[in-house]
Amino acid sequence: MKIAFCASEAVPFAKTGGLADVAGALPLALEDAGQEAIVIMPGYEVVRRSSFVVRRLKENISYSVIGKNIKVYFIENDKYFGRGGLYGAKSGDYPDNLERFSYYCRRALELLKEINFRADIVHVNDWQTALIPVYLKSVHSQDAFFKDTRTVLTIHNIGYQGLFPREEFPKTGLDWGLFNIDGLEFYGKINILKGGIEFCDIITTVSPTYASQIQTAELGFGLEGVLEKRSARLFGILNGLDYSVWDPAVDKMIAKDYSIRSLGDKYINKEDLQKTCGLRPDKEAMLAGVVTRLAEQKGLDILAPAIGNMCKMGLQLVILGTGDLKYHRLLQKAAKKYPGLISLNLKFDNKLAHRIYAGSDLFLMPSQYEPCGLGQMISLRFGTIPLVFKTGGLADTVNNDNGFVFVKYSRQDLIAGVKIAAAAFRDKTGWRARMERAMRCDFSWENAANAYLKVYEKALSS
Ligand code: ADP
């Protein structure tokens, strides 16, 4: 099968979140499964400045190679992508995002023709690439080149839909006839993700529980009706984890490698983390890690006010994250109040993230909603026990055997969960057994790729 994977970010070239991990790993797993895949993404400034080998194909198109022979094509355009951020700056989203990603989507389809890649499947991801199925079924509906091409849209987070004022519709280059209730119109605005959902052949999202949740008013963010209408074509496939990147047995970024057979060495990482973060080196003190975007979705509204209670329990906390200034301030206040117990790192730092996953005992991930979540899967592999709210992918990966799950979204229930974890931590034998169960969990991309292949086949037979 020929698969063109379109995403607005992909590891190792550009990353702001979990989408990049998926876009970097799924094509590799598809290649391992014998399929022919390419990736198409914007040629941001970070790509141009990176040390990766990037070759020029033609004017405004360059490419790199990942895996055995997967070409990653970069669509360049100084005006749209020659800037510091992917989607915005500190002050907020770039005001021309509709123009930027409409351009990307149009160019991606032209590129397929230019390189003569007759894709069986064009797999698009989130709103930034969601115009591709719309263009295929409108502008290109009579185009023989795409006659046998089918589209799959994966929703990584339905909270981000690409909403724009109706006046901007001409920027998409689409006929106004598509600005209606069965197309891209959404309460008088343009909703790009809605267009993708309406026009693609198959919709997937990144965990089975989230696939059900987005069809409800509580978590559908207004698109529940549109999704329900297409529910026969909607599937939940749990993301895999790239174990070549996330494996404590071969991790170059941590103080000491360890595996299930050398769990004692995990404590070398704990001590190293405590020392570098200015916390008291103490094997017996429970060390909780947080690596996250500082956003309401990630549960900061219950986590930030619970920090005082955790510190009073004697917990040590290492927090790594950036995001809403509101949470920067709240956390700074807590860190000031409990010096020596909290290490606050308000930045994006991949190396520190690895060291937190390796050195912590507990990993806190109380997301309000979580399409799939990588943090809990990473922490499981590192034997760092996740404590999660029962939602989305967290509900599909963490249970009370390999972690701790609380079922009512509240600060009190989070604190109660931490108390249960702290009591379990004191039982050394029980804790070790839990770590082993966590490390044995297998969320490999191989399983995910096989599930995607089945979905691609469904799309092809439609
Ligand atoms: P998201 O909703 O942000 O995509 P995921 O849990 O799916 O959440 O993926 C987040 C990814 O980004 C994980 O690999 C996590 O380790 C990483 N990450 C998040 N914040 C930071 C940070 N401040 N520094 C380094 N890595 C981070």
Mean pLDDT to the nearest integer, 142-147: 98
With a pLDDT cut of 70, the percent of the chain lying above it is 100
pTM over 0.75: yes
Whole-Å CA distances, 14 to 23, 155, 245, 327: 10, 19, 16, 25
pLDDT digits over 218-255, tens only? Answer: 999 999 999 999 999 999 999 999 898 899 999 999 99
- Counting from 1 in the atom list of ligand 1, the atom nearest the Cα of 297 is 2
Q: For ligand 1, atom 19, which residue shows the shortest CA distance?
A: 292
Cα 136 to Cα 199: distance, rounded to the nearest angstrom: 9
Cα 39 to Cα 35: distance, rounded to the nearest angstrom: 13
CA 353 / ligand 1 centre spacing (Å): 9
CA 210 / ligand 1 centre spacing (Å): 18
Nearest to 360 by CA among 265, 292, 274, 252: 274
Q: For ligand 1, atom 15, which residue shows the shortest CA distance?
A: 375
Q: Quick one: pLDDT band at residue 367, thresholds 50, 70, 90?
A: very high
* Residue of 293, 319, 377 best suited for mutating to test ligand 1, as the one with most atoms within 8 Å of CB: 293
pLDDT value of position 267: 97
In sequence order, what are the residues at sequence separation of 6 or more whose Cβ sits closer than 8 angstroms to the Cβ of residue 321?
A: 290, 291, 292, 293, 294, 298, 327, 345, 346
pLDDT value of position 173: 98
Query: In the block, which residue shows the tokens 């379990």?
Result: 424
Residue 326 has pLDDT above 90, yes or no: yes
Cα 354 to Cα 438: distance, rounded to the nearest angstrom: 17
Residues belonging to the chain: 462
pLDDT value of position 51: 85
- Counting from 1 in the atom list of ligand 1, the atom nearest the Cα of 376 is 6
CA 42 / ligand 1 centre spacing (Å): 21
Where would I find the beta strands (DSSP E) of 310-431? 316-323, 342-345, 362-365, 385-389, 404-406
Residue 49 has pLDDT above 90, yes or no: no
CA 379 / ligand 1 centre spacing (Å): 12
CA 16 / ligand 1 centre spacing (Å): 8
Mean pLDDT to the nearest integer, 380-397: 98
Cα 10 to Cα 40: distance, rounded to the nearest angstrom: 9
Q: For ligand 1, atom 24, which residue shows the shortest CA distance?
A: 348
Nearest to 211 by CA among 263, 255, 154, 279: 154
pLDDT value of position 17: 82
pLDDT digits over 408-427, tens only? Answer: 999 999 999 999 999 999 99
Q: Quick one: pLDDT band at residue 462, thresholds 50, 70, 90?
A: confident
Residue 114 has pLDDT above 90, yes or no: yes
Question: Coil, strand or helix: which one is 406?
Answer: strand
Pocket of ligand 1 (CB under 6 A): 17-18, 21, 291-293, 320-322, 348-350, 353, 372-375
Average pLDDT, the chain: 97
Provide the β-strand partners of residue 363.
Answer: 289, 386
Q: For ligand 1, atom 3, which residue shows the shortest CA distance?
A: 17
pLDDT digits over 193-212, tens only? Answer: 999 999 999 999 999 999 99
Q: Which class for 462: exposed (0-12), middle (13-18), buried (19 or more C-beta within 10 A)?
A: exposed
Cα 217 to Cα 219: distance, rounded to the nearest angstrom: 6
Mean pLDDT to the nearest integer, 77-96: 95
CA 18 / ligand 1 centre spacing (Å): 6
pLDDT value of position 279: 96
As a whole number of Å, the end-to-end CA separation of the chain is 16
- Counting from 1 in the atom list of ligand 1, the atom nearest the Cα of 374 is 6
Q: Which two tokens stand for residue 145?
A: 């080149």
CA 150 / ligand 1 centre spacing (Å): 31
CA 446 / ligand 1 centre spacing (Å): 22
* Residue of 87, 242, 291 best suited for mutating to test ligand 1, as the one with most atoms within 8 Å of CB: 291
CA 292 / ligand 1 centre spacing (Å): 5
Pairing of strands 287-294, 362-365: parallel
- Counting from 1 in the atom list of ligand 1, the atom nearest the Cα of 293 is 20
Residue 18 has pLDDT above 90, yes or no: no
- Counting from 1 in the atom list of ligand 1, the atom nearest the Cα of 298 is 2
DSSP string, 327-351: HHHHHHHHHHHSTTTEEEE-S--HH
CA 180 / ligand 1 centre spacing (Å): 36
pLDDT value of position 397: 98
pLDDT value of position 161: 98
Q: Quick one: pLDDT band at residue 262, thresholds 50, 70, 90?
A: very high
